[in-house]
Amino acid sequence: MSTEVRGGVSPRRPPPMAPMGGLRYGLMLAIVLLGLGLLVGRIVILHVVDRPFLQGQGDARTLRTDPIPAHRGMISDRNGEPLAISTPVVTLWANPQDVPEDPIQRLQLARALGMELDDLDARLERFASREFMFLRRQLTPEAAQRVLDLRIPGVYRQDEYKRYYPAGEVTAQLLGVTNVDDVGQEGLELAYQFYLAGEPGQRRVLKDRRGRLVRDLEVLREARPGGELTLSIDQRLQYMAYRELKAAVAEHDADGGVVVMMDARTGEVLAMANQPSYNPNNRAGLDPRGLRNQAIVDVFEPGSVMKPLAMAAIMESGQFPRDVVVDTSPGWMRIDRFTIRDIRNYGRLDLAGILEKSSNIGMSKLVLELDDPLVPDLYRRLGFGQSPETGFPGESTGTLPAPVRWSRSQWAALSYGYGLSTSALQLAGAYTAIANHGERLPPSLLKLPEPPPGEPVIDRAVAHDLLRIMEESVQPTTGARRAMVPGYRVAGKTGTVRKTGAGGYVQNAYRSLFAGIAPVSDPRIVTVVMIDHPRGDSYFGGAVAAPVFSRVVGSALRLLDVPPDQRSR
């Protein structure tokens, strides 16, 4: 059969499909499926296998645990008046690597911080390799906010607390201070650091890579505020004692001084003033001498204020009748190549006369006739040479040498207050035994819930007789007349003791003292006044320390609403 060809051209058939096409398609599909499989596998590994590690790495870069500062406990006086409180402050810090180098922004930052631009640039340069530096510590929230309102990158805040002392220099040595991190450094702030500090808390926060807070997530542990401390101090009496002490130190151009006032019924310290002092709220130009609480830390030879205590041992011995008379003529005596002197020849003196005239001869003759070391034994029972155990940092024990192979001159010296050393607090504590029917009360810087039991150290009858004898030393005709308090009966003893230095006793340098009890009919307070190195013609205890005692005790009795006591005669 023939096929018709149109136009003279024969038609062509299409070429058959190449066998390679199916292989190429399968290969591409396999590659795509393999890639998807690897991707899925990687996703599974990241979300299942490596999830804990990656989550930890991410949290390490964004989640932070920040401390929550604990509020330091308040210190108050016995009536609840604040003596030390903590106020919120803001510390500004920076990441030097994030602070812009723009001079305009840096100038604004420097002015807001109260700094010179050159100083700020130098600090940023010094810490350039670090991620943290302080800009200003403990600013008020308002001052810190003015800096933060500039919105300068790399500048952040940190909330803290700062200690403030409302009474300022009046209670400085007793309370002590905290450092910039709110940690106690001196005084009661140091002694009760762990009790006052509390326990900081913790919170979990989310921050960006520059350390800026994004969101608070949760509180891990609440901050536990510090405990509150209630002192035995009466702020009213403290102000008054400090004012009178400061005036006396200035009047006599003295090196310093101390006033210690104790409750005769409880042993609580109602006032403890020191000079020189300092302002704990502003320590610029601080005099290092003002840091010491001299009333507890410093010791000195007490001199004649020890005579009533030695007299108690003499009266307890039973070797002398109460009306004994001692011949102190000619006003001096030689013992072991030492000469003991009175100011003048007082002749024949009874016990009251020996204390009133402050006769070294009379005391020495009585003590040297004792069979046993009764005087140092009583001194030891009264707390001399031992710690007062107030818990105050650096409290002194004083010195009371053991009576081993003592010479007669050493025995005699003890009776008129030489050869031992004591602090003003120890001396006041010893006098509580006379005021409290022969029972010594341990001194306390904290308010007590109830009076503690006293330690019997002096016979009750002897303590009563001695109080009356000491009252005879504070009369209009005696050297202690300036210690008298209008409307109240006072018992006490003056003291004037030479100061010691590296080479022995210092020429023309003295300490003036007065230790007393009031009112005699019902003792309420025991007070010790010590003025260190008064200059001028007046340096005797009766002329320098006794007037301070009169003003301090008179004001205290009125503030405590103690009624005038009845006259004994």
**Using CA atoms, how far apart are residues 552 and 238, in angstroms rounded to an integer?**
10
Residue 455 host element (H or E): strand 455-456
Catalytic residue, chosen from 277, 304, 364, 512, is: 304
Is residue 509 classed as helix, strand or coil in its secondary structure? strand
d(CA 37, CA 29): 12
Distances (CA, A) of 427 to 177, 187, 400: 26, 20, 13
Taking alpha carbons only, the member of 178, 177, 144 closest to residue 159 is 144
Name residue 341's beta-bridge partners.
Answer: 332
The Cα 216–Cα 380 span in angstroms is 62
Cα angle 459-460-465, degrees, rounded to a multiple of 5: 100
Tokens of 318: 């039973």
CA angle 45, 50, 54 (to 5 degrees): 130
Token pair 């009046």 is at which residue? 170
Strands (E), 185-299: 201-207, 213-221, 229-230, 256-263, 269-275
Contacts of 219 (CB under 8 A, 6+ apart): 68, 201, 202, 203, 204
Does residue 359 have an active-site annotation?
A: no
d(CA 410, CA 399): 14
Q: How far apart are CA 285 and CA 96, in angstroms?
A: 32
Tokens, residue 426: 């120890």
Residues carrying an active site annotation:
304
